[in-house]
Amino acid sequence: MKSSSRQTEAPRAWQRMLSGRRLDLLEPSPLDVEIEDIAHGLARVARWNGQTHGAHAFSVAQHCVLVEQLVGKFYPDIDPRWRLAALLHDSSEYVIGDMISPFKAALGLDYRAFEARLMEAVHVRFGLPAHLPDRVEQRIKRADKASAFFEATVLAGFEDREAAKFFGRPRGLDAASISALQKLAPQTAEQAGESFIKRFSQLRI
């Protein structure tokens, strides 16, 4: 008895983007990465699995803009391309979504390798090294944790002590400082996407 074509056909491993690009999820090509797709996707991915206060989700796009601003605040003389790297630091989530850290740990190394390949494609597409220097990674991570601390306490219902345990308490910053950079009021998907694109355009000049 002959096998049907449906039985032998390989499962689809690509995603159609609104730009028209077809992104291979197993071997992502920088040529298929478009900033409009990234902004559109990240603006619709909720941080904290959507468990935040407000009429709208606090999106990954909004988080990325805040992290980039924090990198600039912590390191005023940093090379602009590393600020671009900060803006793009969670870009893989336009494809895979924002999985909370405990779930990433449960999935293990295969997930992280998949995430790393996507980030390499994003970096190369926008003129960054496929692998960022360790010092740059550490600086972005510092800003990422600072953003997480304030998101956790202002939006996600964490107590101050609990957030400090998981993310560390940022030095030299308070909620007022964060609000001066960007209010932690969740934006609509359209607003978040536009803010992300605007900042990207400014950093690419």
- Residue ranges of the domains in the chain? 32-204
CA distances from 151 to 75, 96, 125, 145, 183 (A): 21, 21, 30, 10, 11
Question: 2 pLDDT exceeds 60?
Answer: no
CA distances from 51 to 124, 156, 157, 158 (A): 33, 6, 8, 11
Give me the mean pLDDT over the 142-164 stretch.
94
Domain 32-204 belongs in CATH node 1.10.3210.10: yes
Question: 101 pLDDT exceeds 70?
Answer: no
Q: Are 170 and 145 in contact (CB under 8 A)?
A: yes
pLDDT tens-digit series, residues 69-83: 999 999 999 999 999
pLDDT tens-digit series, residues 40-98: 999 999 999 999 999 999 999 999 999 999 999 999 999 999 999 999 999 999 988 76
54: helix, strand or coil: coil
pLDDT for res 112 = 77
CA distance 112 to 157: 28
